[in-house]
Structure 1
């Protein structure tokens, strides 16, 4: 008897999650290695100089992609000719943007009053071209659910980029090592994607045939622009007003705090968006798939984020060294801001998989405006004031975003509220425990002990809170069932044993 559609979805979700999770674990280790080693070989000022350039790269990347990667992923079917058309549009955009970055590089250096920024900006033009050559090949692998090949590309490319950066920092002590981490990773991704994808651009389709993709991509591009300003205005303001060293402290704290989002939300987006898009007509299956993934992402990320809040000084001293201890209060406030982003980040999958690009645009513009006001207000209290304003604004924005994203579609506000409840409770119990961890450090004299105890306590409290709530218990049941399926080799063969299977 052939497996049920739900069983097939479940098998694909489990397989994709395992492969993506394994690659994500390796990427986390590599990223942590890069953060630790580069922080000890370079100075906060070095990171501040490169952090002045990265917002420019991020802005150019939005126009280079033009929202077409997401547009291709959400489409139910696409021909080789249409893919070729999108590929050449990306390449043209990437080439023009690469040239533009070279032309504006003197102006960027003048804006920051930092001459070292000019060559970094000009060199970033190569990143635009490499990204354009890569996007459709990785999109095809994603649409075909080739998670093994994608995992190989991710791990190998980051390994090459990390090795290049650390080697350069060790030999030269130059801020160029930070740039080469990004450049080396993207160049390696481009080469590996072409090697592991059989697709090659060929005959193109008329533009009218991809008009829906261009319109969808335009909405996503404007939404991404709004999100960009919300995510980068803080760094631009700090670099312009406060200088390289405060920006270096803020940028490193931000990079560490955002690791959970970078290495959980992005892989989850890759795995789930194609599946959700293909199941948008099956409301119960869609709802269960999203809510389970939503809770799983919170289980992976929330306890660690709580530890970052209550033990920031100890973590920074242990991981990055004494020269970075001034970043501790920035670190704590940015971790509080991340709490809101952990809840709102996955909502993008609802907009994309349901074809709601216009609503994604509205939410991004409103969020960006709100956060920009918060950054400007906080700037008068220095870099820590910016971080604190960011945290307050994110916590205010979160419930509004949850309501807006669930006004239509299979996932309701009640679904997400019940899913969030145990995690909100665990945060409310853990954050006030900061004074206790400080006393543990003083008594033990060993920050590693305090960090270890904080991690254990955070996960214990989170699991206890999950057991107190019906949605939480159902989620833990799903995890247990999935683990038994994987370990017992029975994935998808017993459709009726879980609530997801019951949706059929």
Structure 2
């Protein structure tokens, strides 16, 4: 009965989380296509230069308290109110620091326009801090329906605003207005939909209890955030805003299937698995299914996107963005293992092993920085190949700890991964053979994806693929 309830909760959560993620991403994607034709790559490059400051600030504001609140089953009013006021105070201090250093950042990139843009964009840090607790409570209750409504409304209104401003030649400020308006609307809507309101109390006891777990999650998240954004920093500094624009578009498209699908599973299953963290067998069985099904979906999407990167970029963004295509081909291989990395850490997080997660991130990022130092002098493409190599190394590091402490190591996980990888490689070969002689980008894209879907699904059915059977079973019994 417990496993049945867990499955129902997970499936409903995944369905609503998927709706939220991909409806919002779909709306943003459409508006991005329109704006990409109205703006130039350097406009996106300027915004990409600021991503590290926004991401680091968000990690420090949250301080891992969201994960700590979700994991704590018996959370109190004092816990939530303490996190709320802590976030607001820290966000205000961080914004003040970023406001002061904005001219130095502009000098570093030799881009004067970056100073006023940074001071306006970073206002989203303060605005976001007002909704951290609401989001955590929605996630804890596996309520992604409310978040879907808020995110979709915010994305639609802010997207229309951004397109209009881009059309009347506001340039990079169209992207600034879109991002800031989206944050404001999303925060207001979450407050309106949530019944929770902060009380006038602050508990140092609650802070200390949450901080013990949350601080380690914050440090691991901060290390990961800094590492991810090292690439835009180096590209923006060594190369140019235009090349950073090409890289950021390629990274965004690679993230779309991989990160989004994984994050949907991760944020739904984390609160669900926290409820059964004491049942080791049920926990590992649930995790095995997640690994299988996420790889079954993500692997063909990533390899298919890699194979069709050039016609995809030309059709979607236009020929002026064609330089992004080869970068996208490489990055797709680095991102295809993202589900395995993320879900391994999610399993350790469920068991409260934030210390191990921190150790893993430190080891991986040290190796990653070494790779960046070795590949950056060789060019932008070499840096992308370094990302692929680092992703493979990370697989062994992540699975080492789950194998040691949870008896589910690299060999066990490869058994779940290999069938989907094998099917995806066959599909990749079929795409190349089919579209190699097609010169029209739109026709090439259409035929390539048609072949990919048919080949992959037919072989999966003929070989009675386990992940395929599980997905069909879940869809049939989703109610």
Correspondence for 2:195 among 176, 193, 198? 198
Q: Go from structure 1 to structure 2 and tell me whether the alpha carbon gap of 1:431 and 1:375 turns closer, same or farther (over 3 Å shift).
A: farther
- Aligned 8 A contact 2:428 2:452 in 1: no
Query: Which one is further off, 399-408 or 189-198?
Result: 399-408
| Residue 235 (structure 2) aligns with | 238
- Aligned 8 A contact 2:17 2:144 in 1: yes
Q: Go from structure 1 to structure 2 and tell me whether the alpha carbon gap of 1:383 and 1:68 turns closer, same or farther (over 3 Å shift).
A: same
The alignment's C-alpha RMSD in Å is 2.0
Q: Measure, in 1, the Cα distance between the counterparts of 2:197 and 2:224.
A: 32
Q: Are 1:225 and 2:219 an aligned pair?
A: no
| Residue 455 (structure 1) aligns with | 449
1:279-315 CA-partner distances (Å, limit 9, x unpaired): 1112222122222222222233222211221111110
Query: Which one is further off, 173-182 or 358-367?
Result: 173-182
Query: Which one is further off, 64-73 or 378-387?
Result: 378-387
| Residue 381 (structure 1) aligns with | 378
Q: Are 1:268 and 2:265 an aligned pair?
A: yes
| Residue 47 (structure 1) aligns with | 44
Q: Go from structure 1 to structure 2 and tell me whether the alpha carbon gap of 1:336 and 1:400 turns closer, same or farther (over 3 Å shift).
A: same
1:49-107 CA-partner distances (Å, limit 9, x unpaired): 11111111111111111111111111222001111011111111111111111111011
1:469: how far off? 7.2
1:15-74 CA-partner distances (Å, limit 9, x unpaired): 112222222231231132133112111111111111111111111111111111111111
1:433: how far off? 4.9
| Residue 498 (structure 1) aligns with | none
Q: Are 1:78 and 2:78 an aligned pair?
A: no
Q: Are 1:129 and 2:123 an aligned pair?
A: no
Counting only pairs closer than 5 Å after superposition, residues 358-377 of structure 1 correspond to structure 2 as: 358-377=355-374
- Aligned 8 A contact 1:407 1:413 in 2: no
- Aligned 8 A contact 1:306 1:458 in 2: no
1:213: how far off? 1.0
1:173: how far off? 4.2
- Aligned 8 A contact 1:98 1:126 in 2: yes
| Residue 482 (structure 1) aligns with | 474
- Aligned 8 A contact 1:66 1:217 in 2: yes
- Name structure 1 gaps, 5 residues minimum: 492-504
User: What is the SS of the residue equivalent to 2:278?
Assistant: coil
- Aligned 8 A contact 1:425 1:465 in 2: no
Correspondence for 1:139 among 133, 136, 139? 136
Q: Go from structure 1 to structure 2 and tell me whether the alpha carbon gap of 1:160 and 1:348 turns closer, same or farther (over 3 Å shift).
A: farther
1:168: how far off? 1.6
Aligned residues: 479
- Aligned 8 A contact 1:422 1:462 in 2: no
Q: Measure, in 1, the Cα distance between the counterparts of 2:63 and 2:421.
A: 36
Q: Measure, in 2, the Cα distance between the counterparts of 1:121 and 1:79.
A: 37
| Residue 299 (structure 1) aligns with | 296
Q: Measure, in 2, the Cα distance between the counterparts of 1:405 and 1:467.
A: 31
User: What is the SS of the residue equivalent to 1:333?
Assistant: helix
Q: Go from structure 1 to structure 2 and tell me whether the alpha carbon gap of 1:410 and 1:151 turns closer, same or farther (over 3 Å shift).
A: farther
Q: Go from structure 1 to structure 2 and tell me whether the alpha carbon gap of 1:32 and 1:422 turns closer, same or farther (over 3 Å shift).
A: same
Correspondence for 1:170 among 162, 167, 170? 167
- Aligned 8 A contact 1:91 1:132 in 2: yes
| Residue 351 (structure 2) aligns with | 354
| Residue 211 (structure 1) aligns with | 208
Q: Measure, in 1, the Cα distance between the counterparts of 2:20 and 2:37.
A: 26
Q: Go from structure 1 to structure 2 and tell me whether the alpha carbon gap of 1:387 and 1:87 turns closer, same or farther (over 3 Å shift).
A: same
